[in-house]
Structure 1
């Protein structure tokens, strides 16, 4: 089946902030990110034909209320919620509309206004979406609260037991991402920490300490996508970035059948999506230059190295020790600071990743710039579950 090419022509985001630190509401965040993306593309909102609004915590049709800040033209606006992969799910749907020839210009916009502290449930009178995962994991490792660090910490423990990975290797990922965020004006945190400071920060769920965990955050991100015809008609080829591969994968039978904490936090979903994307793009992981991946916890970054094929299973710790995932290494992973230091407003995370990689491929990432970046890879996961992996390349180079 023939598919239309899809291009990112404009991106924008707010600075990510600690919940309550700034007097704003989600329409304010959405307006800021959306106007930045439209201005970046050099188009008016009335040229957008469809919009996809991602958020996790909010009322029904919050997407309309947010996007109405940009205009009210009667276009379809779809509200999207896919847990922590919500932003990239909105991106996937916006790209799919163009890929299928249903539109020439679409908007993906994600935002979140969060409560301080660990994530909790909103409704207690019905089955929790993660209950099956949590019950399966509790059979492998004793249950603990809060659920998110328990799940990813348990996966880290399993990796340590199976492959000899160390707490120091996980902590080094926290050191790296906090160091990277120093050069990102959009990051919630911009402080550097030593390995000892990361290891000695408050333990959340061993081996994870506070400085290896992503914070709750407020913020928004946006991307304008377009068809090849739209790019040509508007003369945008010089700045456009093409989506050359994209896949969304939900839980597989192996998620539960493998009886592994690694699969319960999505390793097989990521592995399956990555293979599809590499095939679509005609590339291998060694050809990728810069990566934004879902480091909600340092353990997940290391697990994801392996699932994306950057190394063999069990060898993620070697990449860390060899500095293979920072400047001067084989890849630069999370130049933005990642979720750990940039922040994690759930609905905005995937679109902030898209923005960072677009800037990197345009050569406009300032002090964060990865030298001569030609191919970028994005990974965004939400438990319960869905993962979106996307590959990008400049339209013209």
Structure 2
């Protein structure tokens, strides 16, 4: 069944430290906000998709029970950082198959409860122990990519810092972002070293809480706003990389993007706005190339030209991205699409991409030994 799937409502909490709020509080704010935004009753939702990484078993049922919502099917989705995007993908599939007419997808996380520090590597992968013994963490993995990128392109370390300057400037315009202070190139370069060439301001915050929610429906929304449709949705896993793999080749993202573009009948040149997974500054440059925004080796040129700023050819991370908005794992993929909905409906006050009609959200998830990423999700939205 080939049904048009719409996003009728979108909402999220501010991302940051919520010491006085429970996960139930965060979920309630996002879910009820999306329901209100869609102009529906809670009983209109025939199923719920709950995305989370560290909340424990049957979290969706626990959180929705405390909202007084019990009875409908509740699907708990965990796919590392791509959990929220994967939940949207699965919800869209169910709607297209005609299983439901209206569903709610939400993602939530409270990373501040974990005590801070880097997110641990995959603990149930027996090969990960070998990586950990060599000092491997996610910052060091991306630092190696950054070092290789700068070496192969003959670029200075300041190129990576330009990503942080752009995205934190965007975050300063977003009232829901965790980091709302613009930074200069000099401040980024002088911030505490994490893993060369990455400094503190080039890494997304790891202590962050937040929730985001979407109402997906096969019914045409009745509101006077532009109707946002999901034009393409793809989720894939990584290939095993034998021998000396190219650490600058984000093959899983390129593969997933191709699948989403093909579904939508669109290409990179059709995009007006992009929310991508900039957990570290180097990631944004790699994903420029993987998504087809720039040719191989030309990601830095695209950035420095100003083409990815608000007002440029294709605005990338106008929300501030993970670097400024924050990265509460289970909520991230959903929040990226909340931002796109607001952009496509001209509701992104203070950071609006004028005339935006097509947006792309890209989220990767998880690192397991010998594989680029465990999961990748790409969604195309349009009006």
Q: Same fold (TM over 0.5)?
A: yes
Count of aligned residue pairs for this structure pair: 374
Give me the whole-angstrom Cα distance separating, in 2, the residues matched to 1:39 and 1:301: 34
1:93 deviation in Å? 1.2
Residue 220 of structure 1 corresponds to 211
Residue 113 of structure 1 corresponds to 110
Deviations 1:127-164 (A, max 9, x none): 725664785x79xxx9435x110111111122222222
1:232-251 residue pairs with structure 2 within 5 A?
A: 235-236=222-223, 238-251=225-238
Pair 1:260 & 2:261 matched: no
1:308 deviation in Å? 0.2
Pair 1:98 & 2:98 matched: no
Deviations 1:147-191 (A, max 9, x none): 110111111122222222432111000000000011101001100
1:348-363 residue pairs with structure 2 within 5 A?
A: 348-363=331-346
Contact 1:46–1:73 (CA under 8 A) maintained in structure 2: no
1:210 deviation in Å? 0.6
1:99 deviation in Å? 1.6
SS in 2 for 1:9: strand
Flag structure 1 segments of 5+ consecutive residues without an equivalent.
none
Please point out which of 365, 383, 388 is paired with 2:348: 365
Residue 185 of structure 1 corresponds to 175
Residue 16 of structure 1 corresponds to 15
Pair 1:66 & 2:55 matched: no
Residue 171 of structure 1 corresponds to 161
Pair 1:208 & 2:203 matched: no
SS in 2 for 1:368: coil
Give me the whole-angstrom Cα distance separating, in 1, the residues matched to 2:325 and 2:13: 11
Contact 2:237–2:252 (CA under 8 A) maintained in structure 1: yes
Contact 2:276–2:362 (CA under 8 A) maintained in structure 1: yes
Name the CA shift for 1:337/1:120 in 2 (closer, same or farther; >3 Å).
closer
Give me the whole-angstrom Cα distance separating, in 1, the residues matched to 2:19 and 2:193: 28
Give me the whole-angstrom Cα distance separating, in 1, the residues matched to 2:319 and 2:125: 29
With normalisation by structure 1, the TM-score equals: 0.90
1:213 deviation in Å? 0.5
Deviations 1:36-88 (A, max 9, x none): 00000000111111111011112201111112244324111011111111111
Flag structure 2 segments of 5+ consecutive residues without an equivalent.
368-373
Name the CA shift for 1:333/1:130 in 2 (closer, same or farther; >3 Å).
farther
Residue 376 of structure 1 corresponds to 359
Residue 346 of structure 1 corresponds to 329
Deviations 1:308-341 (A, max 9, x none): 0011111111111111110232111000000001
